[in-house]
Amino acid sequence: MMPREIGVTELALRDAHQSLMATRMAIEDMIPVCEQIDRAGFWSVECWGGATFDTCIRFLNEDPWERLRTFRKLMPNSRLQMLLRGQNLLGYRHYQDEVVERFVAKAAENGMDVFRVFDALNDPRNLEHAMNAVTKVGKHAQGTICYTVSPLHNTEGYVQLAGRLLDMGAQSIALKDMAALLKPQPAYDIVKGIKDTYGADTQVNVHCHATTGVTLVSLMKAIEAGADVVDTAVSSMSLGPGHNPTESLVEMLEGTGFTTGVDLATLLPVRDHFAKVRPKYSAFESKITTVDTNIFKSQIPGGMISNMESQLKNQGAGDRIEEVMEEVPRVREDAGFPPLVTPSSQIVGTQAVFNVLMGRYKVLTGEFADLMLGYYGECPGVRNAEVVELAKKQTKKEPITVRPADLLDPEWDHLRAEAAGLEGFDGSDEDVLTVAMFPSVAPGFFKTRAEGPKNVGKTAEQVAKEAAIASGAANAVREPIKYTVTIGDHAHNVSVEPA
Amino acid sequence: MMPREIGVTELALRDAHQSLMATRMAIEDMIPVCEQIDRAGFWSVECWGGATFDTCIRFLNEDPWERLRTFRKLMPNSRLQMLLRGQNLLGYRHYQDEVVERFVAKAAENGMDVFRVFDALNDPRNLEHAMNAVTKVGKHAQGTICYTVSPLHNTEGYVQLAGRLLDMGAQSIALKDMAALLKPQPAYDIVKGIKDTYGADTQVNVHCHATTGVTLVSLMKAIEAGADVVDTAVSSMSLGPGHNPTESLVEMLEGTGFTTGVDLATLLPVRDHFAKVRPKYSAFESKITTVDTNIFKSQIPGGMISNMESQLKNQGAGDRIEEVMEEVPRVREDAGFPPLVTPSSQIVGTQAVFNVLMGRYKVLTGEFADLMLGYYGECPGVRNAEVVELAKKQTKKEPITVRPADLLDPEWDHLRAEAAGLEGFDGSDEDVLTVAMFPSVAPGFFKTRAEGPKNVGKTAEQVAKEAAIASGAANAVREPIKYTVTIGDHAHNVSVEPA
């Protein structure tokens, strides 16, 4: 019997460097291996999303649209894939439908093929318009389930959600496990449930992080249950808070009833290239070097903890993290058990910090109040009525039950006018969309764009020097160091070097 | 239905620090967590073996027998487990049967419960006497299959080997995957084959390294096939060239038909303790930080490659590693496809280096000649007759087909006499056995033993200082630094320190 071929989505160019090095990788460190990636036989190559867009204009002085066109040119045979926050697109607010349509059309025009559309609350109404826009331009609309664990989340609910997304026109379903919480048995059950309910030809993609150490097993069980495509990253860009290694996935399937189309020999230079590049970005690396299984207990992803810790430290309360950790599940329950993923993780986490520092719900953040009032969409659970009352009182806003974007007025002309007033605006719809996504960052970027992309990683010389320091030669003076030394009244120019 | 309980062997105290930090962990860094480990619910605690014994007397000035007694005292409720190289015991040659018996009896008397007995060539005759000795003193004799991949190794052969070990009195079977080559499907097939052939109540333990990234999946499939006990290491002592994380194994089984008796809350302080201890030994850490899947292709374990590289460098031929890598499979085939594990990996690797540097089989190492002549036991394949002839000619020895230890004369009295002549010998059989295992190292150790154990790790202060350097504060002056500064004709003694 021929083994069934499992597709693989390579994450190195988006989620891998986002998870491992705060999304800082420069385009010049990706270009040398794009041709190899293009030939390796992946189902798709993930290469664009909210954080990459943001980092491009905030830190790398690089036009994210130009990055997309570069990928398109260098990987002509690959499906390019992006992560899209539904009605939020790549930003942090809801956009009016016309903006969503224009964004999707422009992304497609510049080269995007597969749009993985998700919503932090798993509210399907926040995905529908974006998925329709993708279908309208003839591209692949992937409806996403954000996997989380709560008393209200179960296999049946996830399978139902998949059905709603399919009804809305999703061409495939992604099971997205952003916190590495998906254990093998639920991975099997959910994929099997979707296949059994909606037909074996329903395409299911599975995305897991590796942080807890169990998720390569989850991918195996998902494949046994019928998953069609799984996400991994080339080994030199894998593990820790990142993803499972592509090579390990390919090798793991040998002799089973499954195989991949990935050619490991083609991937070898990609692995070696990123192994050389990675130390350049060590300053941005996470501290998780093995695995962290505490996440299963706390349900709080690593990135959220470090965020709350820094908030506490800024308030001189760095010792109260344990209290906050205990407060998070309560706040999450009051909010109706949202999944904890951008932006809901920040909203819940910050409110938990406020509760500990100032007393429970003495002060609501604006975002948390909006969450309680339905302005981000619907959560699976019933919200705590008392806290909803507090939110009404504080914000003078009424709770809503409609799709949040339905309350928005047309805004495209306004956005174009805003962009037109900016120095360095090039007149394109792409630039208008950049302003729409990141209105506070775009103006500065437009001004400096002509200087071209920056590399915020270390140079090869710096990497070599740090390696030497790490290997113990740290205290030696290796080159002339000049001091001005004042003894008594006399200033001396002094040079010190190895004798 | 009640889930089936899977036993877990915790490796932190032996193979984990052997694989991650060259076996250098001092007993004082283990003692603080022994009580917690004892209470965590492991099937056994691996804590002793050839490399730990060797390192104790070679680098740590610590009596390995005293270390065993310490473990016994601190972990009264646990099965203590060791790895025993069959007729080689903990050394590198074959010992006469009486020495094997005395060693096993003394190990049992000092507290050992489970003896995992293996032979590098999988020659059952090299395991039989040691297993009998274990059974005779009422302890658990575990017969071991070293897993490797070659044209001659297959599931059927491994299942047959298990049968021979069971016939010889093995109380359980260990499937030992020292190079992380065991993929999920063969893991399933071999365990299933053993269970189907010899009965479901045949205890099967599975030991995998994590180097290639696939073996937690292999453990899952082994468990599905009926494996009874699997080996892992607490997460802060896991991954890289080490093993899969204990916590991940426990969590992975949730919701499946399997569970473990391990209590993760009890294990938490163990994890945190080793997370603090590990940086002390960073100088001994391997460079593998993610995974290495090249091993699948080359069949050459990482430790063997670095060994060959250093041999080549010493000969000024550091650039010829690729040639040696290509030579290794040929040498292995000529030798009849031995598994590559201590000592066969060193013997084959060194001969491959000789072949590249001096011409193929121009010079045979003494050990390789012995391997070709049967002095290590039988290999699965037919040895290259021409090379056997060369070995005969060079060594003036005849090939043998008997069990190597059958050629040995009684040696206990001689070993005792040798030990008695050494300064610091304490008269015990344990000391005689130490001399027998490591005759060139024991004399020096006996002389300095009274000074007590050493810690070769860094101090807490050194770790803190290096962390500071790594975090970029390297150029700051933090303590008085003395310079001789010459200005004009005058030399000044200058001390610089923070004001």
The predicted structure's pLDDT at residue B474: 44
Domain range annotation of chain A: 4-284, 300-405, 460-496
Query: Shortest Cα distance from B291 to chain A (angstroms)?
Result: 6
First to last CA, chain A: 73
Closest residue in chain B to residue A292, using alpha carbons only:
B235
Q: Are B236 and B197 in contact (CB under 8 A)?
A: no
Q: Are A253 and A260 in contact (CB under 8 A)?
A: yes
| Position B331 confidence tier, pLDDT thresholds 50, 70, 90 | very high
Q: What is the DSSP string of B234-261?
A: -GGG-STTS--BHHHHHHHTTTTTEEE-
Q: Are A352 and A324 in contact (CB under 8 A)?
A: yes
The predicted structure's pLDDT at residue B479: 59
Q: What residues does A486 pair with on adjacent strands? A: A491
The CA distance from B356 to B350, in Å, is 10
The predicted structure's pLDDT at residue A488: 67
Contact B239 A239 (CB under 8 A): yes
| Strand B229-232 relative to strand B204-208, pairing | parallel
**pLDDT over 70 at B199, yes or no:** yes
**pLDDT over 60 at B498, yes or no:** no
| Position B343 confidence tier, pLDDT thresholds 50, 70, 90 | confident
| Position B476 confidence tier, pLDDT thresholds 50, 70, 90 | very low
Structure token pair of residue A207: 């995305």
Q: Which residues of B touch A491 (CB under 8 A)?
A: none
* Least confident range of A8-22, A465-479, B14-28, B335-349: A465-479
The CA distance from B103 to B90, in Å, is 10
**pLDDT over 70 at B471, yes or no:** no
Task: Indicate the Cα dihedral angle B413, B418, B424, B429, nearest 10°.
Answer: -30
> Which residues of chain A are modeled with pLDDT < 50?
473-476
The predicted structure's pLDDT at residue B318: 85
**Nearest CA among A92, A66, A67 for reference residue A17:** A67
Contact B264 A293 (CB under 8 A): yes
Q: Which value, in Å, is the radius of gyration of the alpha carbons in chain B? A: 24
E strand spans, A42-109: 44-48, 80-84
Q: What's the CATH number for A4-284?
A: 3.20.20.70
| Position B488 confidence tier, pLDDT thresholds 50, 70, 90 | low
The CA distance from A60 to A454, in Å, is 5
B300-405 CATH, one of 3.40.50.700, 1.10.472.90, 2.60.15.10, 2.40.30.10? 1.10.472.90
Structure token pair of residue A403: 């799709």
Contact B212 A248 (CB under 8 A): yes
Contact B245 A474 (CB under 8 A): no
The CA distance from A314 to A297, in Å, is 26
Complex ipTM value:
0.91
The predicted structure's pLDDT at residue A31: 98
Contact B183 A255 (CB under 8 A): yes
| Position B286 confidence tier, pLDDT thresholds 50, 70, 90 | confident
Residue A96 gets which letter from DSSP? -
Chain B contact probe: residue of A248, A298, A465, A496 with most B CBs at under 10 A? A248
Q: Are B213 and A244 in contact (CB under 8 A)?
A: yes
Q: Which residues of A touch B183 (CB under 8 A)?
A: 251-252, 254-255
List C-alpha distances in Å: B391 to A47, B363, B364, B396: 58, 9, 7, 8
